[in-house]
Structure 1
Amino acid sequence: MPENRFVKAAYKTGVYIGEPIQEKEDKTLIKIVAVLKHPMQGDLHNPKQVDVPLFHERKALAEFEKVWIPTANAKIYEEVVPDYRESLISAYNELKQQLEEKKDEYSQKSLETLKGLEHDYQLK
């Protein structure tokens, strides 16, 4: 992985832009610099299900948070890297809009958990 290059990588159900820091075997440590897709809400093992023991509130990874990802999932990102906060708000609003367009039980429950993130993200 070339140094000082940014990569696009999926982590759980979110997609991020990160700066590669270190490689170890088949994994790369990246430092998060922007959010492209906000993580889905709920149980990762039962996607889009409401009747689960715990419906998780899933936050986006924080700015400069470091995570290990499979190196094969790190794709070179050559576009302009957006500001972290602006990218977070954009990804949050995109997910919120997608959920508002649907009227199913999962979307409604996800909207409730997203509403709780407004305070954490200081959106209001």
Structure 2
Amino acid sequence: MEYVRAFYKTGVYIAELVERQESMQRALVKVLAVLKHPTQGDLHNPKMIEVPLFHQRKALAQFEKTWVPLSSLKSYEGEVPEYKSSLLQAVVELQKSLEEDDSDWAKASLEKLNECKSEYGF
């Protein structure tokens, strides 16, 4: 079993490498833990709130499988934390950085993150 650090959209995960497709430059990974919670809002217009839809972006679920570009993978050697505690830690870190930012984007992001927290049961 090979563990990797996988970047997906704006989140970072510890995952199990399930399948590698060199010809398509992608890999299928199974999420085991969250290292960085996804950024809220529009991925194509970062840090802007005047967009058609300011997205709520939840972390990938435990054991969720997703395709990621091979270029987004890095080897992972450490201990794999428990999913729920890693998710909580990632949420707390993002929340802290948003609370230190006084911008309208940070306030809107915090509102969306609080919706995520509620759905996660925190």
Q: Normalising to structure 1: TM-score of the pair?
A: 0.94
- Corresponding residue for 2:2? 5
Q: Match for 2:11 among 14, 18, 27? A: 14
Amino acid at match of 1:61: L
Structure 2 unaligned spans of 5+ = none
- Corresponding residue for 2:84? 85
Count the aligned residue pairs.
Answer: 120
Pairing 1:34-113 to 2, within 5 Å after superposition = 34-113=33-112
Amino acid at match of 2:20: E
2:14 is the alignment partner of 1:23: no
State the Cα deviation string for residues 40-87 of structure 1 (Å, max 9, x = none): 000000000000000000000000000111112211100111100000
Amino acid at match of 1:16: Y
Structure 1's consecutive aligned runs of 4 or more residues displaced over 2 angstroms after TM superposition are none
- Corresponding residue for 1:122? 121
Measured in 1, the distance between the counterparts of 2:52 and 2:44 equals 11
Amino acid at match of 2:12: V
Measured in 1, the distance between the counterparts of 2:10 and 2:97 equals 15
Measured in 2, the distance between the counterparts of 1:27 and 1:116 equals 31
Give the CA deviation at 1:23: 1.4
Structure 1 unaligned spans of 5+ = none
SS in 2 for 1:88: helix
- Corresponding residue for 1:32? 31
Amino acid at match of 1:105: D
